[in-house]
Amino acid sequence: MNKRIFTIVTALFLVIFSCKEKKESNKEDVGPSQEITKEKNRPFFSFKLDAEIKSDDKIVFYYLTPETQQISKKQSLEKEVLGSNGNQSINFNLPEEILPTRILVKFGENGDQVLKINKVSLSYGDNKIDVPDSLFYQFFKHNKAASYNKENNSIKAVKNEKQKPMFFSRKTLEDKIDLNFF
């Protein structure tokens, strides 16, 4: 009888501890998948330009970070845009967790391009900055290869042998990015 009790107790002991180990190993299996989900939900920076772009063009979005001072092809995104008389949304999404300190947008590959700016939106995670057409000039300036018409909020390519038409963030926008996103 003692052998029987000993055998039953030993069997119960083994069953209880082997079940606990399985439960613990299941918990370990859940952990990494939760980490993967978190990694997929990392914030990213998005720049959205809503504009009327009459002619086919290539829009290039350059960005600088605290570590960089010069624009480069490596820190740029480009999109081919088909001309249209209607409003178009051009979206640029930076790689995860890259937050620019300065923004530059090159356009006018065809030479006679006119962009009628309707709105610019910047977002990072849950935070957003909207720049309506009426405030575009307060947050962006243009180089010598472009001209800006405040009356109809359009930016136009101007013939310039040395530069391509471009608009870039003013200090006002850079400070707002720093305040809202960093």
168 and 102 within one domain: yes
- Residue 6 tokens read as 């000993």
152 and 68 within one domain: yes
Q: Which residues pair with 53 in a beta bridge?
A: 115
121 and 148 within one domain: yes
User: What rounded mean pLDDT belongs to the chain?
Assistant: 85
Domain holding 120, by residue range, is 45-181
58 and 115 within one domain: yes
77 and 49 within one domain: yes
Residue 13 CB neighbour total at 10 angstroms = 10
Percent of the chain surpassing pLDDT 70: 78
CATH of the domain at 51: 2.60.60
Query: CA 42, 48, 146 angle in degrees (round to 5)?
Result: 135
115 and 32 within one domain: no
Residue 35 binned pLDDT confidence (cut-offs 50, 70, 90): very low
The pTM assigned to this predicted structure is: 0.75
- The pLDDT value recorded for residue 2 is 64
Residue type (1 letter), 33: S
49 and 37 within one domain: no
Q: How far apart are CA 34 and CA 87, in angstroms?
A: 40
Does residue 28 register a pLDDT over 60?
Answer: no
105 and 20 within one domain: no
57 and 26 within one domain: no
33 and 111 within one domain: no
- The pLDDT value recorded for residue 36 is 44
61 and 131 within one domain: yes
Does residue 40 register a pLDDT over 80?
Answer: no
59 and 132 within one domain: yes
Cα-Cα-Cα-Cα dihedral of 137, 69, 72, 177, to 10°?
-40
* Total domains present in the chain: 2
